[in-house]
Structure 1
Amino acid sequence: MLTETESWSPGDVGSTRYVQDALAIDFDLWSDDQLFGERPTRRDDLPDPRVWAGHIAQGLVEVMAGARPAPQVLRWTTPEVYAAVARRAAVSARRGALPTRRTIVRGVRVCEPADGVAEASAVVVDGGRVRALAFRLVGLDGRWRVEALQVG
């Protein structure tokens, strides 16, 4: 411990100086996509696709009907799917008619053709009409994301 009359200076440590060397890293082995891009996720690390497909299907049809803002599904869709859903929402908004009844997802079927991939279909009741929704889910960064969407 230093007393009031003593002071410390960096030269007191000793005569050896520390020199930092550079690490030998070959950055050519890694592309930016490998370091910072999206990472595929194994099926074991993802939630149940059937339950999740039902929730996202409900959200997607509500956005397309104009009952929910489009940005709410942005995180769960690819840019192409989001653009299609937002476009349908804009058409619903131009029509000016808010849905009188809530659009309801009645049933969901899911198959998993590969690890981290699920293909789902949903039966949707929209007022007096029954419609079909088909979409492909891909596990990326620990969550399911809608990669393709077809509305019938």
Structure 2
Amino acid sequence: MRATVATANAASRTSLRPLTIVPAPRIRPPVIAEADDDWTVDERTDSPYVQDALAVDFSLRSDEDLFGEQPTRRDDLPDPRDWAAHIAQALVEVMAGARPAPQLLRWTTPEVYAVVARRAAVSARRGMPPTRRTVVRSLRVCEPADGVAEASAVVVDGGRVRALAMRLVGLDGRWRVEALQVG
């Protein structure tokens, strides 16, 4: 038994090779310094890597233009009628206190969100839970420009009938409520 283990250990030692370290290939051409310290590229070596400059003029646009919200064309947006019906229902539920206001942050401008959140706070201060669900009864949508939709809705809030008007603007591939009027 011992002889078998010793033979196996000796065989494994002879099959191992020493580790060889190979230098990494150069992907940049060597740089040669001239007498006036002007650095130039040695053109004698052929490098497999070539990178050309991309001609982009950023002088005409600011960072907000490049990285801010981008307008979206109508063809790249969902149906404004369906979307307006859903957002109108969500808006009236928030204003009635049946839905939390932060759910609308992504879908409204900060100004519209402030108005809706203020109405929700007033509704919460009254302390009365909504007895009946606020419902959007009818909706009309028109599109005055590409990427812009204006919607008006008739809302039944308990025993009261109200009007809701909003302007939707296509930004970053989605509709966003830019203006809201509640009557």
Give the alignment's TM-score, normalised by structure 2: 0.74
2:85 maps to which of 44, 54, 62: 54
Which runs of no fewer than 5 residues in structure 2 stay unpaired? 1-16, 32-40, 42-49
Q: Percent identity?
A: 76
2:177 maps to which of 138, 141, 146: 146
Residue 7 of structure 1, CA deviation: 1.8
1:133 pairs with 2:164: yes
CA distance in 1 between partners of 2:27 and 2:141 (Å): 69
State the superposition RMSD in angstroms: 2.4
TM-aligned CA distance change 1:5 to 1:112, over 3 Å = closer
1:36 pairs with 2:67: yes
The residue correspondences of 1:117-132 to structure 2 (distance < 5 A) are 117-132=148-163
1:91 pairs with 2:122: yes
1:6 pairs with 2:20: yes
- How big is each residue's C-alpha offset from its partner over 1:38-81, in whole Å with a ceiling of 9 and x where there is no partner? 00000011111011100000000000000000000110000000
Structure number with greater CO (CA < 8 Å, separation at least 6) is 1
Give the alignment's TM-score, normalised by structure 1: 0.89
CA distance in 1 between partners of 2:175 and 2:57 (Å): 33
CA distance in 2 between partners of 1:15 and 1:126 (Å): 71
- How big is each residue's C-alpha offset from its partner over 1:10-49, in whole Å with a ceiling of 9 and x where there is no partner? 4x75994377989575432321112101000000111110
How many pairs are equivalent? 149
TM-aligned CA distance change 1:122 to 1:8, over 3 Å = same
- How big is each residue's C-alpha offset from its partner over 1:111-134, in whole Å with a ceiling of 9 and x where there is no partner? 000000000000000001110000
